[in-house]
């Protein structure tokens, strides 16, 4: 019988992963690391929403006598975004504007001398997924990211009881799953996929 509540319930050993139990740890890029040293802590507390990163492997059609077969192509990593709660110090917003300006300035159309090479303007980030008991059950490390879009913040006289938020979109090179302490029901199978 395909529908069996007891079987389904027994397969959901830990009551399911919760989307609200996560943390984003963003390491500043080397080119501006000294400008705002508390960025990592601020992002960890104010990154309200994100996603576990995805990826895709393209397929290539190869035609033979009018019939197309599919073969595996290359891997790509779509952009990754976070939604940030804005405080009155504008720390994260300011930092992202400085970061982007260092990559390409508003007026001069130039890159900062502190960001001449990729490892000076690209940074790494970690997304930790937590169990309901507080252990980290999944960790993604995102390599070589930089902000491509710092979204506008909408202002409105009618929104007096709302805290400002804005999205930041990052391009990045790749991600890896890092080893974690296995939580209940994982049988110790957390680890890198390289």
Mean pLDDT of 154-163: 94
Above 60 in pLDDT, residue 89? yes
Above 90 in pLDDT, residue 21? yes
How many angstroms separate the CA atoms of 73 and 57, rounded?
A: 6
What is the structure's pLDDT at 36? 65
Q: What DSSP string describes 26-71? A: EPPPGGGTTT-TTHHHHHHHHEEE------EEEEEEEEETTEEEEE
pLDDT, one tens digit per residue, over 109-138 is 999 988 999 999 999 999 999 999 999 999
Element (H, E) at 148: strand 136-150
Domain 17-178 class in CATH: mainly beta
* 146: helix, strand or coil: strand
Mean pLDDT of 163-180: 94
Quick one: angle between helices 91-103 and 39-46, nearest 10? 120
- Residue with the bigger pLDDT between 178 and 189: it is 178
How many angstroms separate the CA atoms of 155 and 190, rounded?
A: 43
pTM score of the predicted model:
0.84
Residue 46 sits at φ, ψ, to 5 deg, of -110, -5
Above 90 in pLDDT, residue 180? no
Other Cβ atoms less than 10 A from the Cβ of 52: the count is 15
* Contacts (Cβ under 8 Å, ≥6 apart) of 56: 75, 76, 78
How many angstroms separate the CA atoms of 117 and 123, rounded?
A: 12
Mean pLDDT of 30-59: 86
DSSP designation for 92: H
How many angstroms separate the CA atoms of 35 and 98, rounded?
A: 9
Above 70 in pLDDT, residue 168? yes
The proportion of the chain whose per-residue pLDDT surpasses 70, expressed as a percent, equals 91
Q: Are 39 and 85 in contact (CB under 8 A)?
A: no
What is the structure's pLDDT at 57? 94
pLDDT band for position 104 (50/70/90)? very high
What is the structure's pLDDT at 33? 76
How is the chain split into domains, by residue range?
A: 17-178
């Amino acid at each position: 019988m395909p529908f069996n509540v007891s079987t389904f319930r027994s397969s959901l050993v830990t009551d399911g992963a919760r989307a609200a139990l996560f943390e984003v740890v963003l390491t500043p890029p080397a080119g501006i690391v000294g400008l705002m040293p508390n960025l990592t802590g601020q992002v960890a507390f104010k990154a309200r929403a994100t996603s576990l990163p995805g990826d895709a492997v393209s397929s290539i059609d190869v035609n033979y006598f009018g019939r197309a077969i599919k073969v595996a192509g290359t891997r790509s990593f779509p952009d990754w975004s976070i939604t940030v709660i804005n405080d009155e110090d504008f720390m994260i917003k300011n930092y992202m504007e400085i970061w982007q300006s260092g990559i390409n300035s508003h007026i001069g159309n130039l890159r900062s001398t502190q960001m001449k090479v990729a490892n000076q303007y690209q940074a790494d980030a970690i997304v930790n997924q937590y169990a309901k008991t507080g252990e980290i059950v999944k960790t993604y490390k995102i390599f070589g990211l930089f902000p491509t879009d710092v979204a506008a913040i909408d202002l409105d006289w009618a929104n007096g009881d709302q805290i400002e938020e804005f999205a930041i979109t990052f391009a990045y090179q790749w991600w890896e799953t890092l080893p974690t302490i296995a939580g209940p029901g994982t049988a110790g199978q957390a680890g890198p996929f390289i």
